[in-house]
Amino acid sequence: MFRFRNTPWIILMLLALPAITACGPKGGEIVTEKPIPEVCSWVGTGTAAPVEDLDKRLAAYVPTELSPSIEHLDTAQVQVMEKLIEASKLMDEIFRIQATPYYDALAGRIRELFPEQQKELARYFAINVGPWDRRFHHEPFCGGWEHPKGANYYPLDLTESEKAFITDSSNGLDGLYTMVRRDKSGSLEAVPYSVFFADRLTKAAALLKEAASLTGNESLRNFLVARADAFLTDDYYESDMLWMDLDSTVEVTIGPYETYEDGLFGYKAAFESFVTVTDPVESARLANFKDELPWLESRLPIADEHKNLNRGSESPIRVVDEVYSAGDTRAGVQTIAFNLPNDERVREAKGSKKVLLRNVMQAKFDQILTPIAEVLVAEDQLADLTAESFFLHTLWHEMSHGLGPGKILKNGRQTEVRLELKDTYSTLEEAKADAMGEWDIFMLARDGRDYFPADIFRQQSATYLAGLFRSVRFGIGEAHGQANAIQFNYLMEKGAISCSEQTGRFSIDVEVFEQAIGQLVAEILIIQAEGDYEASVAFINRFGGMTPVLARGLEKLEGIPVDIQPVFSRYES
């Protein structure tokens, strides 16, 4: 749409209306009357001063240049990459609309209210993609607006009965690729992304097609053409299938994927993009692991009837360097790896692809994990910390998303774990992936596979322990952070982790850990296999909180950055 700077916020709101009003217009329809007082009154309610520790919160994100070397690319590959980065910037714009109602108006309001802290607030607003702190339960860091749990996917004024209505899948309001808005009569309607974001998706589709015409790589060309069509039709199936087949030096993952941002129901997919260059040597080494997945599925600690032995066995692994990222993935804490697509039909046919972002992982190991361990891990276990174990943990976390129940049968009805566990799905699935990742490695090592060094049990345990603190610092209001609190509290209760009263440092008992992590995997798997929402809520309530011992540990980490803030100076001024 349009970008204006130094424009009074009331005008910004008028400009923003076509895409964001809660009163029913689709896409480009312009409404200039009724909604304006509503907009003004909501945005205008934000007057609260910025949090006092804003400087500290900003310092938690250490700006880190990520642009990797691209000297090995030829001219055409560089041109393809530039088109993909242009399209990615549109994903940023779309995600802002999805995440935050009246994004520009809120930014303008904050500028106006606190001119002397303008620069700091603008940086933190950009990191969080809105005025709510992603590390602290989405509490406002400025202005005082209450965070809408459903982000901007739903009208702000949803009633309880409307919420119940949305969860009734027969009316289609729970669609993955729709925004929910009110029609002219005030009733809820699902507006497809291709309509709601028509301007930007049309431009993005054109850029993907231009990139397709420039590339000499057939797998990339096929994907880009199909994904361009998907932007205009909301049918992502074919392009998700083709994304699985990508085999190109320059690759891209672009479109609506994860549902974490929809904290109300977990139904809606957020737009994002990763532009990457591949590392074929490392990918080939890791591809051996994929052959182990059917064996691991068959060994899962759950009854055979719940095992998902028909999932596709093709699970490619990519190790890449990130050249650019945008949208959902760029907000708050940075992804070091991902596992896509989420479409169960594709996963059953082809498995899922794991992409590890090597330059992002290296930056986090050096700048965050190592300093954390030096403060919190028992001194006699510090030497066991390795970058390789950090890498393996991340890798097997991603592999584990592709194991266990996906499509399930509940009361004779075909459904998916994701749909049944609703807002608890992400937290539980992330806890599963972490715990099962360690379980996988231990299973393979116990069975005598020679993938790992002799000290793998000690190294994996110590590095995992340090990693828990790194992840809980993300904030337990977010799926990954809370998933780590669950693991920490569970393992404390089982005696796998203990804290020295003298030193305040934490130790992990390798043998107890191996037992307990298997029990944790088993408890999560049965909740997923049965699609038991109440059990999921109860489990998260029991283990997902900030316990005093955990809080004391985290207090000691003051001054150590929580995360990197990616800088891509080659593509952003």
Nearer to Zn ion, 243 or 257 (CB): 257
Q: Specify the residue for token string 């895409």.
A: 19
CB of 340 to Zn ion, least distance (A): 10
Tally the C-alpha atoms within 13 A of residue 298's C-alpha that lie toward its C-beta.
8
- Which positions from 288 through 347 interact with Zn ion, judged by CB under 5 A? none
Q: Which is nearer to Zn ion, 82 or 398 (CB)?
A: 398
Residue numbers 395-434 binding Zn ion by CB under 5 A: 430, 433
Least Å distance, CB 317 to Zn ion, is 15
Measured from the CB of residue 434, what is the shortest distance to Zn ion in angstroms? Answer: 8
Q: How far is the CB of 38 from Zn ion (least distance, A)?
A: 37
d(CA 551, CA 558): 12
Q: CA separation (Å) from 560 to 191, 406, 479, 491, 501?
A: 43, 38, 22, 25, 23
- Please choose, from the candidates 215, 203, 319, 218, the residue with its C-alpha nearest in 3D space to the C-alpha of residue 254: 203
Nearer to Zn ion, 86 or 438 (CB): 438
Q: Return the number of the residue (427 or 507) whose C-beta is nearest Zn ion.
A: 427
Judged on CB neighbours under 10 Å (0-12, 13-18, 19+), 412 is: exposed
| Residues 430-489 close enough to bind Zn ion by CB under 5 A | 430, 433
Q: In this complex, which beta carbon is closest to Zn ion, that of residue 86 or of residue 430?
A: 430
**Residues contacting Zn ion: total by CB under 5 A:** 2
What string of DSSP letters covers 300-341?
-SS-GGG--TTS-S---EEEEEEEEEEEGGGSSSPPSEEEE-
**In terms of CB distance, is 428 or 557 closer to Zn ion?**
428
- Is residue 205 close enough to count as binding Zn ion by CB under 5 A? no
Touching Zn ion, residues 507-536 (CB under 5 A): none
Closest residue to Zn ion: CB criterion: 433
Nearer to Zn ion, 121 or 433 (CB): 433
Nearest distance from C-beta of residue 310 to Zn ion, angstroms: 22
To Zn ion, the closest distance from the beta carbon of 47 in angstroms equals 38
69: closest CA among 570, 573, 572?
570
The DSSP bridge partners found for residue 277 are 250, 321
Determine what percent of the chain falls in helix, strand and coil, rounding each to the nearest 5: 55, 15, 35
Q: How far apart, in whole angstroms, are the C-alpha atoms of residue 379 and residue 389?
A: 18
In the complex, least distance from residue 373 CB atom to Zn ion, rounded to whole angstroms: 22
Report, in Å, the least distance between residue 261 CB and Zn ion. 15
Nearer CB in complex with Zn ion: 176/512:
176
Helices (H), 117-236: 118-128, 160-166, 193-196, 198-214, 218-233
Whose Cβ is closer to Zn ion: residue 433's or residue 496's?
A: 433
The three-state DSSP-derived secondary structure of 433-493 is HHHHHHHHHHHHHHCCCCCCCCCHHHHHHHHHHHHHHHHHCCCCCCHHHHHHHHHHHHHHH
Minimum Å gap between C-beta 233 and Zn ion is: 28
Q: Applying CB under 5 A, which residues contact Zn ion?
A: 430, 433
